Amino acid sequence: MYKSIAKLTLLISFVASSYANASPIGPLERERAKTLNLILDKTISIAERKKKLEKSKMKLLDLERMTINNKQINKNPDTHTTRAFEDFDLTFLVHNSFERNKPLSITWFEKIGLTTDNIMNTRVSRR
Amino acid sequence: MKKNTIKLLLIITPNLFASFPALANVSGGDWKPQIVEKMFVLPPQHLNKVLNNDFKTSILASNLRVTDNKIKSKIDKINELNSFLPKASKDETLEIKHQIILNKRDYIKDMNNLIIMKRQKLETKKAFFEKIKNNIKYTNKNKVNQSAFLNNKSKALERAQKLDLKIIEKTSLNINEKSKYFKQYETNKNAIEKLKIAIKNHPMNEKSVLSNNSDNKLEAISNYIYNIETEIAVLEMKEQMMSYMAKIVALDAMNLAENVSGINQKLDGSFTSGENYNDPENVIDIFTKL
């Protein structure tokens, strides 16, 4: 009985603390992670990936707009939020892809340094 | 008649001196500005107007109006009584002078109340502007601390806004993928742009451009506080003026009391009897006149 009450208390405190520490850019980060997961997913076909990415991209665009226009985060921004706004290109991937006129996946690969040239150079150096 | 007047004057004279320190504690009602925090963002001149309108509906303002009217009626009464003096008989003159002194005393009382209320109004206004000044200073301090973040955010907003049109063009074919938020964003963005243009072209906008800047706003509010302080200083001088007026009325009352009792005080402080018809020496003229 006591053990179950202790477990319940721990669970409630964990849930409460996770809500208290929730970053205002959390939903955006989660959706971005899902999109990147989709880009790297090898189990689905190219056509399926394209279709899913298109849907995910629109959702991500909405979240990016919500985050950029959110005035509430101006007051006491946490470290995650501050860090996110320091790198616009990586945080707001969809906006960046529209800015560069390139697909979302290419934009992300290029931003983290995974270009064809870079990869080819890596192979050459191994020889 | 004379005895009654003397009694009355003897009661009035000490009261004149006693009433003024007590008046210092008189409160003319309350005024707590009912202005919500959101109004603080208004330009100072608009804020001042809102504050004045708020004051007009307060108990203090209605009390001020009532006292103001009372003062006007007292002055009219004093002028009216003064106009009766040249034609009045000796007894009537005494009574009129007595009435003048009473009205002057009431005028001073009311004027003192009015000054206290005006001071209360100015002090409340000053405290309100001080609060706004502190708010602006606090916000500015926070802005400095968050400036790097806010700078990044404003840059992000700028970049995103530049892309809005491009996004609309590029996503025109994805009608099915567009969310409710996406559609609402487009509609609201257009409405916001129209409103921004309307604000830019508004004739009153140019006037408030200077005061929208936080530094200018701080300066404008400091000016308001300075003006209020000068008004308080003027009121302090008026308070001093009122104390002198009260002294004059008290001296007038003492003089009248002496005239009525027939006792005159010499410059050295000794007393001489005035017109005392109970002494045969003073009525010789009446008997010797043919």
Tell me the pLDDT of chain A averaged across its residues: 82
pLDDT of residue B262: 64
Chain B nearest C-alpha distance from A116 (Å): 26
Q: What digits encode the pLDDT tens for the residues B221-263? A: 888 899 999 899 998 888 888 889 999 999 989 888 888 776 5
Domain range enclosing B238 = 2-147+225-288
Question: Across all residues in chain B, what is the average pLDDT?
Answer: 79
Q: Is residue B238 part of a domain?
A: yes
Question: Is residue B132 included in any domain, yes or no?
Answer: yes
DSSP type of residue B283: G
Q: Is residue A77 part of a domain?
A: yes
Q: How many residues are listed for chain B in this entry?
A: 290
pLDDT tens digit string along B112-138?
999 999 999 999 999 988 988 888 888
Say if A75 falls within a structural domain. Answer: yes
User: Is residue A120 included in any domain, yes or no?
Assistant: yes
Domain count, chain B: 1
The pLDDT tens digits for A17-50 are: 444 456 778 999 999 999 999 999 989 999 999 9
Share of chain B above pLDDT 70, in %: 72
The answer to whether residue B153 sits within a structural domain is no
Q: Which two tokens stand for residue B185?
A: 């964003």
Report pLDDT digits (tens) over A97-109: 999 999 999 999 9
Report the distance separating Cα A95 and Cα A99, nearest Å: 6
> What pLDDT does B205 receive?
67
Q: Do B157 and A85 touch (CB under 8 A)?
A: no
Q: Find chain A residues with C-beta within 8 A of B155's C-beta.
A: 88
Domain membership flag for residue B182? no
Which two three-digit tokens encode residue B35?
């202005």
Q: What's the average model confidence in pLDDT over B50-54?
A: 87
Interface size, chain A vs chain B, as Cβ–Cβ contacts under 8 Å: 60
Q: Is the pLDDT of residue B170 over 80?
A: yes
Select the more confidently predicted residue: B10 or B156.
B156
Residue B77 pLDDT > 60: yes
- Distance between B226 CA and the closest CA of chain A, angstroms: 32
DSSP string, B101-132: HHHHHHHHHHHHHHHHHHHHHHHHHHHHHHHH
Tally of domains in chain A: 1
- Where residue A85 falls among pLDDT bands split at 50, 70, 90? very high
C-beta neighbour count of B207 within 10 angstroms? 12
Distance from CA of B183 to the nearest CA of A (A): 10
Interface residues from chain A to B (CB-CB < 8 Å): 54-55, 58-59, 61-62, 64-66, 68-69, 73-74, 77, 81-82, 85-86, 88, 92, 95, 98-99
The alpha-carbon gap from B54 to the nearest alpha carbon of chain A, in Å, equals 30
Nearest to B156 among A82, A88, A98 (CB): A88
Task: Give the least confident one: B87-96, B109-118, B272-281.
Answer: B272-281
Closest Cα of chain A to B174: distance in Å? 9
pTM given for the model: 0.51
Render pLDDT for B176-224 as a digit per residue (tens, 0 to 9).
777 888 888 888 888 888 888 888 888 776 655 445 566 677 888 888 8
Q: Do B149 and A82 touch (CB under 8 A)?
A: yes
pLDDT score of B101: 92
The stretch B74-79 carries a mean pLDDT of: 90
pLDDT at A93 over 90: yes
pLDDT at B289 over 70: no
B249 falls within a domain: yes
User: Which residues, 6+ apart, have CB-to-CB distance to A49 below 8 Å?
Assistant: A38, A39, A41
Q: Which of B160, B171, B178 sits opposite A68 (nearest CB)?
A: B160
Q: C-alpha distances in angstroms, A103 versus A109, B209, B242?
A: 10, 43, 83
Give the per-residue pLDDT at B99: 92
The per-residue pLDDT for A18 is 46
- Interface test with chain A among B139, B145, B163, B188, by most A beta carbons within 10 Å: B163
Most confident of B45-49, B103-107, B168-172: B103-107
In a domain, A98, yes or no: yes
Enter the tokens of residue A42. Answer: 């090898």
Which chain B residue has its CA at the smallest distance from A102's CA? B170
What average pLDDT does the segment B96-114 reach? 92
- Gap between the Cα atoms of A83 and A88, Å rounded: 9
Residue in B with minimal Cα distance to A53 = B177
pLDDT at residue A84 is higher than 90: yes
The ipTM assigned to this model is 0.75
Half-sphere exposure of B124 (CA within 13 A, CB side): 22
pLDDT tens column, B142-162:
776 667 888 899 999 999 989
Using CB atoms, pick whichever of B146, B152, B160 lies closest to residue A65: B160
Q: Residue A79 is part of which domain span?
A: 25-126
* Structural domain includes residue A15: no
In a domain, A117, yes or no: yes
Asked if the structure places residue B208 within a domain, the reply is no
